[in-house]
Chains A and B, each alone.
Chain A
Amino acid sequence: MTAAGPAHEPLLRVDGLRKVYPSAQRPVVAIDGLSFDVAAGEFVCVVGPSGGGKSTLLKVVSGLLPPTDGRVLLDGASVTGPVPGLAVVFQEYGRSLYAWKTVRDNVALPLLARRVPRAERHRRAQEALAAVGLADAGRAYPWQLSGGMQQRVAIARAIVGEPRVLLMDEPFAAVDAQTRADLEDLVRAIWRRLGITVLFITHDIDESVYLGGRVLVLSRAPATIRADLTVDLPAERDQLGTRADARFAALRAEVFRLIAAEGTVRT
């Protein structure tokens, strides 16, 4: 991996990705020939029908699952396992945080793996917590926080190691509507401030349009890219104004139509 790669090399490249779960009776093809590029600094949402291989896509891109075929390239280097440049926020915040560690130690986990000295771990964890609005929660335990706060902790843990790409797997599917709106704005704010690249997987059409600069619509399983839409909404977004925008409604309808054509729709 060299800094001076070809000029138009995307930061994240998914190339001919295929994932088959072997089974004695009938192998399950979750992803079939999926390709897309993400440029540095983009916010890309992946939306698709439930059970359509979205989570499989995230697991393969993050290096947690090996692809059956095809490649994932981060900065031109093949991703064959978890790499520091890719951080993940899982849907199940309650299960991904370690109940025996304080919030601060949970956030510092990626730094622990990199043998960062203790004092610096604490300092950087504290910064990441401040970035998600939890500057005072460092000494608490995750189970003492609300669901939305726990997911903020998971986001802090993902950004503490300064990853190139932030992968998010339906991170707000399990929180209430108000918390969800807050967290959506938080992720937008972090994305803009840190200039990182976000690949955000969701089954929620509104969310995908509201958050993303681009929306990739997946087909039903086996997943392929059905459409690649540019979200030409202004960068400044807010829950009321943006959602009332005519352009937002048009994009939302478009994504809805694409997914409806695939069969199962969740709204």
Chain B
Amino acid sequence: MTRPVRVTRPARLVRMPRPPRWAVRPLAALGLPALLVTVWWLASAGSTNPFYPPLRTVLDAFGRVWLSERFVLDVVPSLRRFALGLLLAVVLGVAAGLLIGSSRVLRTLLEPALAFFRALPSPVLVPVLLVVVGVGDAMKVAVIAFGCLWPVLLNTVDGVRGTDEVQLDTARVAGLSRLATFRHLVLPAASPQIAAGLRQALGIGLILMVISEMVVSTDGLGHAVVRFQRSFALPEMWSGMIFLGILGFLLAKALEVVERRVLAWHHGLRRATGARP
């Protein structure tokens, strides 16, 4: 007595055992960086050119420089300026963006000025601010804040302008005050756009942090890299670049993690409606 054999079942048994899903993405993501490091390692291994030291030497320097009191002397001041500047930009940018975005009069009045300031390369402010606020932390924080302000502000304005008419009518019918409408509708509705502005601001802020510290400074990551270069401590200089790269990457990742939690509703909505951008 034989039973008919189903063709679809045995096919499954042939399949290779797969690595668990949680492991696939990190492994894939690490592939290219690992390859690049290997290439760099091999290509630079026998280098005698002082400008391109072997990666081994650079990594030696990395441990020596950044896992020492340098961290407190250079990294902490840099991060403090960066955080302050970004915070200032977000507070001002979101507040002004909510106002400008919800007022046609304000937009008409301010749009040409906004376009001008956005087009202005922020580093050009460094000499101006050196004169106005001096060489201290205030100058660096101001430069970072100025550069980060525009992506946050303009994205907020866009987000606010995109508030759905029906949702606004809903708020009015529910009797929400102007302030409550901002808090419960306009701000959350604009938050995905604000997050997009924040991502841009993060990159810009890091650049401006380094630039402002390269000009007139006694500490900070930008200052350290220039100082190593001028004293021909080239492996240390390279290690500074690697450190900045890792820092930028970690900051972007941190923002991504926070965004995924705070804007979980946005990602869920996009999945539910077939991922409209």
A residues within 8 Å of B by Cβ? 59, 62, 64, 81-84, 86-88, 90, 92, 94-96, 98-101, 109-110, 112-114, 141, 143-144, 157, 161
Known: A88-B169, A113-B174. 19 other contacts (CB 8 A): A81-B172, A84-B175, A88-B173, A94-B273, A98-B184, A100-B189, A100-B191, A100-B265, A100-B266, A109-B176, A110-B173, A110-B175, A113-B176, A141-B265, A143-B268, A143-B269, A143-B272, A143-B273, A144-B272
In the complex, the answer to whether B170 meets A90 with C-beta atoms within 8 Å is yes
Option from A83, A95, A141, A144 in Cβ contact (under 8 Å) with B164: A95
Does any Cβ of A come within 8 Å of B129's Cβ?
no
Chain B residue, CB-CB nearest to A88:
B173
Residues of B within 8 A of A88 (CB): 169-170, 173
CB distance from A201 to the nearest CB of B (A): 15
Q: A98-B188, A100-B188 are in contact. Are A113 and B177 (CB under 8 A)?
A: yes
Does any Cβ of A come within 8 Å of B244's Cβ?
no
Give CA–CA (A98, B183) in the complex, Å: 12
29 cross-chain CB contacts under 8 A:
A83-B175, A86-B173, A87-B173, A88-B169, A88-B170, A90-B166, A90-B169, A92-B166, A95-B166, A96-B169, A98-B170, A98-B184, A98-B185, A100-B188, A100-B189, A100-B266, A109-B174, A109-B176, A109-B184, A112-B180, A113-B174, A113-B175, A141-B265, A141-B268, A143-B268, A143-B273, A144-B268, A144-B272, A157-B174
In the complex, the answer to whether B174 meets A110 with C-beta atoms within 8 Å is yes
Residues of A within 8 A of B177 (CB): 113
Option from A64, A114, A143 in Cβ contact (under 8 Å) with B172: A64
Give CA–CA (A53, B171) in the complex, Å: 23
The winner among A59, A95, A109 for most chain B CB atoms within 10 A is A109
Does any Cβ of A come within 8 Å of B217's Cβ?
no
B residues within 8 Å of A by Cβ? 164-167, 169-177, 180, 184-185, 188-189, 191, 265-266, 268-269, 272-273
Give CA–CA (A141, B267) in the complex, Å: 12
Give CA–CA (A13, B240) in the complex, Å: 76
Chain B residue, CB-CB nearest to A59:
B169
Shortest beta-carbon contacts, A-B, top 5: A113-B175, A143-B272, A95-B166, A110-B174, A100-B188
In the complex, the answer to whether A114 meets B169 with C-beta atoms within 8 Å is no
Residues of A within 8 A of B172 (CB): 64, 81-82
The winner among B173, B180, B185, B191 for most chain A CB atoms within 10 A is B173
Give CA–CA (A110, B184) in the complex, Å: 12
Residues of A within 8 A of B167 (CB): 95-96, 98
Q: A109-B184, A143-B272, A144-B272 are in contact. Are A99 and B174 (CB under 8 A)?
A: no
CB distance from A220 to the nearest CB of B (A): 25
Residues of A within 8 A of B175 (CB): 82-84, 110, 113-114
Option from B165, B173, B188, B266 in Cβ contact (under 8 Å) with A82: B173
In the complex, the answer to whether A62 meets B265 with C-beta atoms within 8 Å is no
CB distance from A104 to the nearest CB of B (A): 14
